[in-house]
Amino acid sequence: MVGWTQAAEARELCGTLKACLAALSAPSGLSTSDNNVGKAGASVCTVGLMLNGCTIDDTMPGSPSFLCGQIKGGDVVETVDGKTVSLDTLVEAIRGADMPGSKMEMQLRGHDRTLKTVNLLRQPRGQVMARRDLFLLLDEMRSNASSHVLGERGKKKPDEPLIRFLNKSIEDITFSIRKVCVCV
């Protein structure tokens, strides 16, 4: 049976993670004045695509492109906001107005050659990076919980109720993050 202290610590950890989620979901307060360009021309916003030319290699955990669940590695960006893109114009097209909350529509060609339309909202870079860190932390927690259970097999009964509680809480938090999704 799970000790009272461990259960209390697990509940406190889950409460902290939920508070982090609430903070990440709150309006950013970022200024959208001037031309919205950060230091050295870096964009203020991101949708979290990792590109190799016009081909999407991956999506950043916690980013709008990751949370929508429609974008896969190997998809090729054909158009952004109705305009055909090339290697030279893609990054600027994705950056767009570079305003938090601005909409972006992309047409992607999948590896099976089908065309799909994905709508995203640009998000403040700092907010996406913080959400990425939260996703990585949740993945690490899930991995450690699973390793703990595997390591305890054959020994005294592991703290399975605690592990189940943590995994369920992690799933709930991940679902909540996806629900606050940035797909439109």
Instruction: Please list the residues that pair with 58 across neighbouring strands.
Output: 50
The answer to whether the CB of 108 falls within 8 A of the CB of 56 is: yes
Higher pLDDT, 62 or 167: 62
Give the CA angle between residues 179, 106, 82 to the nearest 5°.
135
Nearby residues of 9 by Cβ (< 8 Å), 6 or more positions away: none
Mean pLDDT of 37-64: 84
Does residue 2 register a pLDDT over 50? no
Percentage, residues of the chain above pLDDT 90: 38
pLDDT at residue 171 is higher than 80: no
CB-neighbour burial class of residue 131 (10 A; exposed 0-12, middle 13-18, buried 19+):
buried
* Cβ 39 vs Cβ 46: under 8 Å: no
pLDDT digits (tens, 9 = 90+) for 79-136: 999 999 999 999 999 998 889 999 999 999 998 999 999 999 999 998 888 888 888 8
Q: Are 147 and 124 in contact (CB under 8 A)?
A: no
Is 27 a residue whose pLDDT tops 60?
no
- The residue-averaged pLDDT of 163-179 equals 70
Share of the chain above pLDDT 70, in %: 61
Q: Which domains does the chain have, with CATH numbers?
A: 43-184 (2.30.42.10)
Task: Please state the pTM of the whole predicted model.
Answer: 0.67
